[in-house]
């Protein structure tokens, strides 16, 4: 096997399985009833029911007799092959960049791992209007147009991309009508969202890959827009995560069919009736593969929220509203944002870094070169805003997080920075907080008040790790991930008395006095079980120039109680939220994206 750049290597649990299930595939739906004038009402009703079932049970289906003439598809497929066969330098002449957000790229990243693919993007509305910035209150707009390669000349000709796009649009409105009907809505209920749409089309090229068992053509993701219509060739590689059991199911190519999937917007509009489903693309050591997704996106001005007709007292809205245009601008522009992450080394992503019996294998992909914000259209999971809850270390208070609070809020997330008892501006006196349970109380009360279906991300600094560990034991279902920032991290078999014997100085940076809790008290409050505490994902953030909790001490704790992932912030002292707020912010966003 030829060596493959480690940036492409997937964590073991995300690698393709050699024997994918081919058993029962995604539903195959015949669209003739909407394409033939003489079809009766019964046939149409059956079709609507079929579409509804497919959206509900799979989020994916294939359509045949869709009305798109096959020669129109063949023409664009041929032009795509000719384009990708060109030398790299030639293709790079139309690279995507800050000015031209559409064009060629051979650097796509999904969930922090490089995809084994090249793409060419073009937009549908000419020009496409989007927000000029991702700042929430900035209303300035800008216009995007396509850039076309010189070769093959066909690509820019109206008869190829434009004609294909026009056919896709016709199919789009038919599908939107069927989906709306299946939700019990008027068939044109969704149409209005697509006036001045931001839809775009992508030519995908997945070259043959020498290590198809390690890399993916496209990592697992959900599509962020309303719906995607995909043309795949006869090679195959698309896999869909089956909703019933989470198995990856191979989508067997059906000649001349289109694959349709529900995106995040339909999930929100339908208030979870139809969910956007994860999918990915495996690669092949022998054959290259081509596909053409058509991403159907609304206008930048659309405010996305569950449709009022689908919300009532029994089924309240499951999502807060958000601006599609701001989301889109953030995605498109962040691709080219100047990175602040140079000195962050994300050591490993998504899997256990250090198992007790295993040392770090040296083939681990070094993520240092991969910016966390590299734009990936597909990587849509950051769409749903997170709620971060920040827990300070002893002697400090909520105030110490002020820089991070501003950064997280400005990117649209909810943030709660809590004062523990007798800390910050909490009114209790330290002598009224004689047990560590009293000290934790503000966090426990807060966690108790969160609605059952909601999850938060807990972020602990320093001794705040104890409070967070206690919360993981009491409220494991309300936490999507706990982040320990140079924090104490007791575990099921690493109890607090062992930790205290290590020279972790709990009382180093006192701003308000702290009560020094007895070991006995702390051991009682921190009985941690694998069933509860252990069921919550954990990420540890090492601060490498920490004079309070030395790096060796942090590493020792990580070895004793291995988290799911370890990230290191270079050049950071103990108060990383003060000295390296941007880096910490970037890491938190990356974690939110990977664990929520
Ligand atoms: C996509 C996608 C699948 C494929 O580009 O979002 O899921 O088979 N593509 O190329
Ligand atoms: Ni996709």
Across 67-81, 100-114, 249-263, 321-335, least confident range: 321-335
For residue 492, give the 3-state DSSP assignment. coil
pLDDT-above-70 percentage for the chain: 86
Which residue's CA is the closest to the ligand 1 atom numbered 2?
A: 293
Kindly tell me if the per-residue pLDDT of 371 is higher than 60.
no
DSSP state of 367: G
pLDDT at 334 (0 to 100): 60
Q: Which runs of consecutive H residues, i.e. helices, occur in 272-323?
A: none
Select from 228, 231, 287 the residue to mutate for testing ligand 1; criterion: most ligand atoms less than 8 Å from CB: 228
Give dist(CA 218, CA 428) in Å, integer. Answer: 53
Write out the two tokens for 374: 């590299």
CA-closest residue to ligand 1 atom 5: 293
Asked whether 253 lines ligand 1 (CB < 6 A), one says no
Distance 180 CA to ligand 1 centre (A): 24
d(CA 492, CA 511): 31
Summarize the confidence of residues 23-45 as an average pLDDT.
Answer: 88
- The tokens describing 133, both together, are 């910035």
pLDDT at 537 over 50: yes
Task: Determine the pLDDT at residue 353.
Answer: 25
Mean pLDDT of 569-593: 88
Q: Which pLDDT value is given to residue 369?
A: 25
Question: Which residue minimizes the CA distance to atom 10 of ligand 1?
Answer: 291
| Alpha carbon of 494 to ligand 1 centroid (Å) | 44
Residues sharing a CB contact under 8 Å with residue 98, sequence separation 6 or more, in sequence order: 336
The band of 316, judged by pLDDT with boundaries at 50, 70 and 90, is confident
Mean pLDDT calculated for residue range 148-171: 93
Distance of CA 565 to the CA centre of its chain: 16
- Over residues 48-75, the pLDDT tens digits come to 999 999 999 999 999 999 999 999 999 9
Task: Band the pLDDT of 383: cuts 50, 70, 90.
Answer: very low
Question: 99: burial class by Cβ within 10 Å (0-12, 13-18, 19+)?
Answer: exposed
Asked whether the predicted pLDDT for residue 479 surpasses 50, the reply is yes
DSSP 365: P
SS3 217: coil
User: What CA–CA distance (Å, rounded) separates 591 from 513?
Assistant: 33
Q: pLDDT category, 321, cuts 50, 70, 90?
A: confident
Output the pLDDT for position 336.
55
**Cα distances (Å, whole numbers) of residue 232 to 77, 389, 472:** 9, 43, 44
Concatenated DSSP letters for 103-157?
SEES--EETTEE-S-EEEEEESSSSEEEES---TT---EEEE-----SSSGGGGS
Q: Which atom of ligand 1 is nearest to the CA of 217?
A: 10
For ligand 1, whether the C-beta of 277 sits within 6 Å is no
> Which atom of ligand 1 is nearest the CA belonging to 377?
6
Query: What is the C-alpha end-to-end distance of the chain, expressed in Å?
Result: 35
Question: Span 326-339, mean pLDDT?
Answer: 66
Ligand 1 atom nearest the C-alpha of 232 is 8
The ligand whose atoms approach the alpha carbon of 237 most closely is 1
CA 377–ligand 2 middle distance (angstroms): 9
What would the mean pLDDT of 246-267 be, rounded to a whole number?
94
The atom number, within ligand 1, closest to the CA of 280 reads 7
pTM of the predicted model as reported, rounded to 2 decimal places: 0.66
The answer, yes or no, to whether residue 343 has pLDDT greater than 70, is no
Average of per-residue pLDDT across 253-258: 96
Confidence of residue 335 (pLDDT cuts 50, 70, 90): low
What is residue 93's predicted lDDT score, i.e. its pLDDT?
96
Query: Does the pLDDT value for residue 219 go beyond 80?
Result: yes
pLDDT tens-digit series, residues 257-304: 999 999 999 999 999 999 999 999 999 999 999 999 999 999 999 999
pLDDT at 513: 59
Angle at 483 between CA 482 and CA 486, to 5 degrees: 140
Lowest mean pLDDT among 111-120, 276-285, 339-348: 339-348
Q: Which residues are marked as active site?
A: 462, 546, 574
218 lines ligand 1 (CB under 6 A): yes
């Amino acid at each position: 096997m030829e060596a493959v750049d480690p940036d492409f290597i997937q964590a073991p649990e995300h690698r393709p399985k050699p024997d994918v299930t081919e058993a029962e595939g995604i539903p195959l739906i015949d669209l003739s009833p909407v394409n033939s004038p003489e079809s009766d009402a019964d046939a149409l009703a059956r079709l609507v029911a079929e579409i509804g079932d497919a959206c509900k049970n799979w989020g994916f289906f294939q359509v045949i007799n869709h009305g798109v003439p096959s020669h129109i598809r063949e023409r664009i497929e041929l032009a795509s092959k000719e384009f990708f066969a060109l030398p790299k330098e030639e293709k790079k002449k139309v690279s995507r960049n800050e000015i031209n957000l559409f064009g060629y790229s051979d650097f796509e990243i999904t969930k922090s791992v490089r995809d084994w693919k090249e793409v060419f993007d073009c937009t549908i509305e000419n020009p496409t209007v989007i927000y000029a910035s991702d700042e929430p209150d900035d209303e300035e707009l800008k216009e995007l147009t396509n850039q076309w390669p010189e070769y093959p000349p066909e690509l820019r000709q109206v008869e190829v991309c434009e004609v294909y796009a026009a056919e896709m649009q016709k199919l789009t409105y038919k599908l939107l009508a069927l989906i709306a009907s299946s939700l019990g809505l008027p068939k044109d209920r969704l149409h209005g969202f697509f006036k001045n749409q931001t839809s775009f089309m992508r030519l995908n090229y997945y070259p043959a890959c020498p290590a198809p068992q390690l890399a993916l053509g496209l990592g697992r993701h959900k599509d962020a827009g309303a719906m995607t219509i995909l043309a795949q060739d006869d090679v195959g590689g698309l896999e869909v995560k089956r909703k019933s059991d989470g198995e990856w199911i191979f989508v067997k190519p059906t000649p001349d069919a289109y694959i349709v999937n529900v995106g995040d917007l339909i999930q929100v509009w339908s208030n979870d009736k139809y969910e956007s489903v994860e999918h990915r693309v495996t690669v092949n050591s022998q054959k290259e593969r081509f596909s053409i997704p058509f991403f159907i996106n609304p206008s930048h001005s659309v405010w996305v929220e569950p449709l009022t007709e689908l919300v009532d007292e029994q089924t309240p809205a499951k999502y807060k509203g958000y601006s599609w245009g701001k989301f889109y601008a953030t995605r498109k522009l962040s691709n080219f944002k100047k990175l602040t992450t140079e000195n962050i080394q994300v050591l490993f992503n998504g899997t256990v870094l250090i198992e007790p019996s295993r040392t770090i294998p040296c083939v681990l992909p070094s993520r240092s070169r991969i910016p966390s914000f590299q734009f990936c259209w597909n990587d849509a999971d950051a769409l749903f805003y997170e709620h971060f809850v920040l827990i300070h270390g002893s002697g400090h208070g909520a105030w110490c997080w002020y820089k991070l609070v501003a950064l997280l809020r400005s990117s649209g997330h909810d943030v709660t920075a809590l004062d523990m008892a007798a800390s910050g501006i909490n009114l209790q006196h330290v002598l009224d907080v004689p047990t560590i349970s009293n000290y934790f109380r503000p966090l426990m009360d807060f966690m108790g008040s969160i609605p059952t279906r909601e999850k938060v991300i807990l972020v602990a600094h320093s001794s705040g790790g104890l409070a967070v560990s206690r919360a993981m034991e009491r409220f494991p279902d309300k936490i999507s991930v706990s982040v320990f920032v140079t924090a104490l991290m007791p575990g099921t078999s690493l109890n607090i008395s062992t930790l205290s014997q290590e020279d972790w100085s709990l009382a180093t940076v006192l701003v308000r006095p702290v009560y020094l809790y007895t070991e006995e008290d702390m051991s009682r409050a921190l009985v941690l079980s694998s069933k509860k505490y252990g069921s919550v994902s954990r990420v540890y953030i090492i601060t490498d120039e920490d004079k309070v909790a030395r790096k060796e001490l942090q590493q020792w704790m990580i070895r004793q109680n291995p988290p799911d992932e370890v990230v290191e912030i270079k050049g950071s002292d103990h108060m990383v939220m003060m000295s390296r707020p941007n880096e910490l912010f970037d890491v938190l966003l990356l974690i939110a994206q990977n664990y929520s």
